[in-house]
Amino acid sequence: MFTRTEPIYQIRIKSLFLLLLFCHVSSPVKHSLKFLITASSGIQNLPELVVVVLVDDVQAGYCKSNKTIEVNHDVWKTLFKENPWLLELYTQQCFETLPKRFKPRLDRIMQHFNQSGGVHILQLMQSCNLDEKTQTVFSQYGYHGKDFMSFNLKKGTWILLKPEADVIQQEWFLPHRFLLVLSELL
């Protein structure tokens, strides 16, 4: 499962997800981990980036690019307290990694559509659902509240939901690299 070449954060994410799964090993309950990421521009009272994490469709926490982290439920507070590396990872993702990734992507889409001012929103929904027998992975971008492109894990390709997504998809993703990153995170 783990290889020596994997960065420590990827090993830790896998460990966390396995921990979540094995909490209910004898149960046929389906478990899910979801990330909802929203990058925006032109909205005065909204941070440029908001990330929400859901576990089994219950909000576990969220962060905002204005350096705000909120952890819901005592279970997650305890998990972070007992595993400070996890809080460190979450903080790094929220305040460094994701803002550096999503702000340029939003800017590039705006440039592609010849948009400079006004309100613009880029969303990413990613999830992994597991039960006793199956694992499903979902990754989809939206722009201005409309579907933009979705990833088909079985085929290893992006499904373009808007014709304009073609140029963006080619710039953002090298198919083999995206698959590698996605498989490492899950």
Token pair of 41, please?
A: 């521009």
Residue 1 lies in a domain: no
The answer to the question of residue 15 being in a domain is yes
Question: 127, 131, 105, 121: which is closest to 185 by C-alpha?
Answer: 127
Closest by Cα among 97, 96, 92, 111 to 171: 111
31-41 and 120-130 as β-strands: parallel, antiparallel, unpaired? antiparallel
Domain hosting 139: range is 8-185
Tokens representing residue 143 in the block: 């722009």
pLDDT digits (tens, 9 = 90+) for 4-45: 344 444 444 555 554 444 444 445 567 888 889 999 999 988
Query: 183: which residues sit within 8 A by CB, 6+ positions away?
Result: none
Given a cut of 70, whether residue 178 has pLDDT beyond it is no
**Tell me, what CATH number does 166's domain have?**
3.30.500.10
Put residue 114 in one of left, alpha, beta given phi > 0 → left and psi -120 to 50 → alpha. left
Q: What is the pLDDT of residue 37?
A: 93
User: Is 103 a member of any domain?
Assistant: yes
* Model confidence pLDDT, tens digit, residues 35-92: 899 999 999 888 899 999 888 888 888 888 888 888 877 777 888 888 888 888 888 8
Q: Residue 3 domain-assigned? A: no
Tell me, yes or no, whether 2 lies in a domain: no
pLDDT band of residue 1 (cuts 50, 70, 90) is very low
The structure's pTM equals 0.75
